[in-house]
């Protein structure tokens, strides 16, 4: 992951960790009561976490597709 929003420590997040944090961010946004600045920061964090999750899912899909095409893998 080389995107600026997901570089650094986020690169080491597992899918499960990123998904759990994303769920927490969504809960906080849905609960309301945060300032505009905090809401924007939460939204940006959520977007970055969604990118991480999508990359994990894309990688898993690619592995499944590759295994289906390789008769020796099955």
Task: Decide yes or no: CATH 2.40.50.100 for domain 12-73.
Answer: no
Q: Mapped to the 3 state alphabet, what secondary structure does the chain carry?
A: CCCHHHCHHHHHCCHHHHHHHHHHHHHHHHHCCCCHHHHHHHHHHHHHHHHHHHHHHHHHHHHHHHHHHCHHHC
Q: What is the pLDDT of residues 25-40, one digit of tens each?
A: 999 999 999 999 999 9
pTM of the model: 0.78
At 6, is the pLDDT very low, low, confident or very high (cuts 50, 70, 90)? Answer: very low
């Amino acid at each position: 992951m080389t995107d600026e929003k997901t570089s650094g420590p986020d690169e080491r997040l597992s899918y499960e960790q990123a998904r759990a944090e994303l769920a927490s961010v969504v809960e906080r946004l849905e609960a309301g009561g945060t300032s505009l600045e905090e809401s924007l920061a939460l939204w940006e964090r959520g977007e970055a976490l969604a990118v991480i999750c999508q990359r994990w899912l894309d990688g898993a899909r690619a592995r499944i597709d590759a295994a289906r095409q390789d008769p020796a893998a099955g």
